[in-house]
């Protein structure tokens, strides 16, 4: 009797709340062919709802996360649906080669050379355009990459880290990516300018004669962006010169493997 009473109390409080069966956006049905979401389980509904609280009552009201689902498939693939805001880190503009915005940073979490630049070198450098010229960071303008929340909580629940591969879907567009950056702990759903272009949403408003974007429409894709991310899939020794091809091939293969895994367990 006591055990049943405690269970009821927990369910009422939301600590063990189970989400209704997730239904993906109808506009992505073709891209999601073969994906049975009934085979996925919720990772942590209480954690997901902290983002909903931020959307309603916190600093996220002006750019809501719209974090609709947070699931894991049997093969370990992590899935979530959210908005996608624009990340410019590593780009010509963000590195101060032009006029950087207030929230732009030159560096990305993923480095092409794991030893360069060190924190000391980065913070001591006044001319950070140098890092762009040397292509030390992952250029948001040229590489489709995604961003995950920083800190141990998200990483601990998902097993995801910088360098891991993924696939991002918006409507019927499918773009292979890797995790190249981390962002605020209360924000989820962020991608590079190149990723947005791949999804059919180009945020560049003006380019200079060298082809660098000098002005962006810094607004999010508001909702229905789907992220499939594969824990522990980082490509060892990934090279900038071949990264686009390598990431595309391996990320799409992982997505195909997920579809086969789901079908096998039906």
Cis upstream peptide for 250 (omega within 30°): no
CA distance 239 to 65: 32
Check residue 11 and give its pLDDT. Answer: 44
CA distance 250 to 165: 8
- Residue ranges in the chain whose pLDDT is less than 50: 2-18
Check residue 20 and give its pLDDT. Answer: 63
Q: Where are the alpha helices (DSSP H) in 159-222?
A: 193-198
DSSP 170-224: ETTEEEEEEEEEEE-TT---EEEHHHHHHTT---EEEE-TTS-EEEE----EEEE
CA distance 45 to 64: 17
Give the tokens for residue 78: 């992590």
Check residue 265 and give its pLDDT. Answer: 74
User: Could you tell me the pTM of the whole model?
Assistant: 0.90
Beta strand pairing status for 78-87 and 190-192? parallel
The 10s digit of each residue's pLDDT in 81-127 is 999 999 999 999 999 997 655 556 899 999 999 999 999 999 999 99
Check residue 231 and give its pLDDT. Answer: 98
């Amino acid at each position: 009797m006591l055990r049943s009473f405690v269970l009821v109390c927990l369910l009422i409080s939301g600590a063990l709340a189970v989400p209704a069966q997730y239904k993906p956006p109808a506009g992505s049905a073709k891209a999601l062919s073969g994906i049975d979401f009934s085979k996925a389980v919720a990772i942590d509904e209480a954690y997901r709802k902290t983002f909903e609280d931020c959307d309603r009552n916190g600093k996220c009201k002006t750019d809501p996360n719209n974090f609709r689902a947070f699931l894991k498939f049997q093969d370990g693939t992590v899935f979530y649906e959210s908005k996608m805001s624009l990340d410019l880190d590593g780009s010509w503009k963000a590195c101060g080669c032009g006029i950087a915005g207030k929230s732009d940073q030159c560096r990305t979490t993923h480095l092409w050379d794991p030893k360069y630049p060190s924190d000391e070198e980065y913070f001591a450098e006044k001319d950070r355009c140098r890092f762009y010229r040397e292509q030390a960071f992952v250029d948001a303008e040229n590489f489709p990459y995604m961003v995950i929340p920083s800190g141990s909580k998200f990483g601990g629940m998902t097993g995801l880290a910088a360098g891991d591969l993924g696939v991002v879907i918006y409507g019927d567009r499918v773009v292979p990516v890797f995790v190249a950056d981390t962002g605020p702990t209360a924000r989820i759903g962020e991608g590079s300018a190149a990723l947005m272009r791949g999804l059919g949403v180009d945020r560049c408003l003006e380019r200079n004669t060298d082809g660098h974007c000098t002005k962006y429409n810094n607004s999010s894709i508001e909702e229905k962006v789907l992220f499939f991310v594969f824990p522990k899939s980082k490509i060892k020794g990934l090279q900038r010169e071949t990264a686009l091809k390598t990431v595309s091939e391996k990320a799409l293969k992982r997505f195909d493997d997920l579809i086969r895994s789901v079908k096998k367990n039906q």
